[in-house]
Amino acid sequence: MALLEWICILLPAALAVSCSGQQGNTVPETTAESLAAIPTIAEVGAANMPDHIAPVTAPFDMPQFTKPTFPALTVNITEKGAKQDGITTSQIQAAIDDVNQRGGGTVVVPKGQWKTGRISLKSNVNLHLEEGAELHFSGEIEDYRPAVFTRNEGIEVMSLGACIYANGQENIALTGKGKLVGPPAKSPVRERVMQVDVIENVVPHTKPVAERVYEGYNDEFIFLPMFVSPINCKNVYIEGVSLENTPFWNIVPVYCDGVIIRGVTVNSVGIPRGDGIDVESSRNVLIEYCTLSCGDDCFTIKAGRGEDGLRVNKPTENVVVRYCLAREGHGGITCGSETAGMIRNLYVHDCVFEDTGVGIRFKTRRPRGGGGENLYYERIRMNLRDDAFSWDMLGSRTYVGELADRMPLREINRLTPEYKNIVIRDVIVEHAKHFLKIKGIPETPLTNLLIENAIVHSKGLIIARDAKDVTIRNVSVHAQDSLIEILDGRDITFENVRFDVPGTEVVTKIEGELSDDIEFKETTPAKPKGWEDLTWNK
């Protein structure tokens, strides 16, 4: 049986592709091969994690990743007096400090429920949670003092840090089949969160970081602790653990070099800002075989916020995300909205987004700075509540005031972000609201986007505002609406695209003085309704 026939049989009815051989209605052989390689939900996520780490290949140079090794020394927290009937912070920390001082090894948390405050990992220590072990984190602010250096929503502060924290350490690990459970509901750690304004309006970027202290004395607000956050660390390894009920973002490497996160399961559904994995201003990162169900974005790439992010000026670069499963969450994989230090060299491949909000999502804001470039996505399967591909580069007045208004044009300055050089190929979208929604910044439009080799089922088609050099190639779109809206879009090409829409006609609404050079090449239908030629020019 030919591969083209095989894929037409395998794809469910909802993804049916015309394989009749009629001109304009066929899936090219190369497209069929690439779509056949897209994984299913049964092939990705934590349940499928192999023991070994396979070699990494990417469109940019990446190091090869291996599991860390630790000395044979093992210390059980019960040896330091830990008991399940009281808080065990000091005993767990004593075990970590002891192993660190003796040259490294493993600290074991045995089966049972252990209550603790903030734990600080140290170099050459593997904190290992045995199957059935649960670390339950305190809801009392005093269990996270004194304040430590951390970054909150892209801005450096001195606050509670993270439930599991590390700063300036090397060769650290969090492993095992155990579970981390966040602070109880309605506890002080959750209720004293800063809510007066967005963080950049609360923490002056001109104040020295050492003076930006927020640790909750005298009814003062605090910044929520993250769940697991190493900062300024090298060679970080996180494997196998489950996290639930986080107070804030779940796993957040900040300013780290050499990070492996694999086989992790996260459940933070219903928790505001309950992101799954946030890679922030870090490099050489591998994320694989993780399963995330989140109250916010699932896999997120960040690089600092506004003026403070520009002061630090550390990019997130060289990141590979593979064989992962995103379930409920605002976005399957999201870049931004903190982008000041630049996000570059990201490769996401062989992932499934099931019942997620947006599939592939890009965010920034006019005063956030930086942006993203050289971003690659391949072999992705998506069943979504919202849009398949989305750029939200303006945000809302709630966060950035009038800068969220598209017009008037603003002068480009050091805080003006941009996204460019993005490749998305080999994608199956089983359901989405819109195929493509771009809301760019007029003065720095989305630039150089390629989407190719895809089958898309969506309610709406395309909204593209402030974008240029966009190519959509070898795509079959099955939509319930026939309208393509373009505002100040230029150099946009549809090549070998089949539009299966009501009435079999594509309708365009093209506005803006800059809209120009919009071309249909070998598409079905051959051109939109009312067009005299295959190219629209102003």
Query: For the segment 477-536, what is each residue's pLDDT rounded down to a tens digit?
Result: 999 999 999 999 999 999 999 999 999 999 999 999 999 999 999 999 999 999 999 999
The pLDDT of residue 227 is above 90: yes
Give pLDDT, residue 64.
Answer: 94
Specify the DSSP class assigned to residue 219: G
pLDDT at 23: 36
Q: What is the mean pLDDT of residues 125-146?
A: 98
3-state secondary structure 490-506: EEEEEEEEEEECHHHCC
Residue 475: both structure tokens together: 């795509």
Report d(CA 110, CA 132) in Å as an integer.
Answer: 8
The C-alpha atoms of residue 66 and residue 81 are separated, in whole angstroms, by 34
Please classify residue 193 by burial: count the beta carbons closer than 10 Å to its beta carbon, then call 0-12 exposed, 13-18 middle and 19+ buried. middle
Task: Please report the pLDDT score of residue 30 as a whole number.
Answer: 61
Reply yes or no on whether the pLDDT at 4 is more than 50: no
The domain locations on the chain are 3-34, 37-51+307-538, 67-282+290-296
Q: Is pLDDT above 50 for 232?
A: yes
Q: Provide the b/e sequence for 93-127 (b: ≥16 CB within 10 Å).
A: bbbbebbbeeebbbbbbbeeebbbbbbbbbbbbbb
Residues 265/291, Cβ–Cβ less than 8 Å: yes
* Statement: the pTM of the whole predicted model exceeds 0.75: yes
Q: Answer for the pair 426, 382: CB distance below 8 angstroms, yes or no.
A: no
Residue 19 has pLDDT above 80, yes or no: no
* pLDDT tens-digit map of 42-75: 999 999 999 999 999 999 999 999 999 999 999 9
- The whole-chain average pLDDT of the chain stands at 94
Torsion angle, CA of 331/333/336/342, rounded to 10 degrees? -170
The Cα–Cα gap between 361 and 359 comes to 6
Query: In sequence order, what are the beta bridge partners of 200?
Result: none
User: Which backbone phi and psi does 436 adopt, to 5 degrees?
Assistant: -145, 130
Residue 112: half-sphere exposure toward Cβ, Cα within 13 Å: 15
Q: Superfamily assignment of 67-282+290-296 in CATH?
A: Single-stranded right-handed beta-helix, Pectin lyase-like (2.160.20.10)
What does DSSP assign to residue 54? P
- Residue with token string 């050459």: 124
Strand positions, DSSP E, 247-357: 257-262, 265-267, 277-280, 283-288, 291-293, 299-302, 316-322, 325-326, 331-335, 343-356
Report pLDDT digits (tens) over 327-345: 999 999 999 999 999 999 9
- 530: enclosing H helix or E strand: none
| H or E element that contains 34 | helix 29-36
pLDDT (tens digit per residue) in 190-200: 999 999 899 99
Q: How high is the pLDDT of residue 22?
A: 36
- What is the pLDDT, as a whole number, of residue 348? 98
pLDDT tens by residue, 269-310: 999 999 999 999 999 999 999 999 999 999 999 999 999 999
Q: What is the pLDDT of residues 439-483, one digit of tens each?
A: 999 999 999 999 999 999 999 999 999 999 999 999 999 999 999
Provide mean pLDDT across the span 231-240: 98
pLDDT number for residue 3:
35
pLDDT over 70 (residue 425):
yes
Residue length of the chain: 538
> What pLDDT is recorded for position 98?
98
> What was the pLDDT predicted at 467?
98
- DSSP state letters, 346-396: EEEEEEEEEEESEEEEEE--GGG--EEEEEEEEEEEEEESS-SEEEE-S--
pLDDT at 125: 98
Q: With bands split at pLDDT 50, 70 and 90, how would you rate the model's confidence at 20?
A: very low
Tell me, what's the pLDDT at 33? 81
**Starting at the edge strand that comes first in sequence, how are the strands of the sheet with 162-167 ordered?**
119-120, 162-167, 226-231
Query: Is the pLDDT reported for residue 12 higher than 50?
Result: no
For 355, residues 6+ apart whose C-beta sits below 8 A from its C-beta are: 327, 328, 383, 384, 385
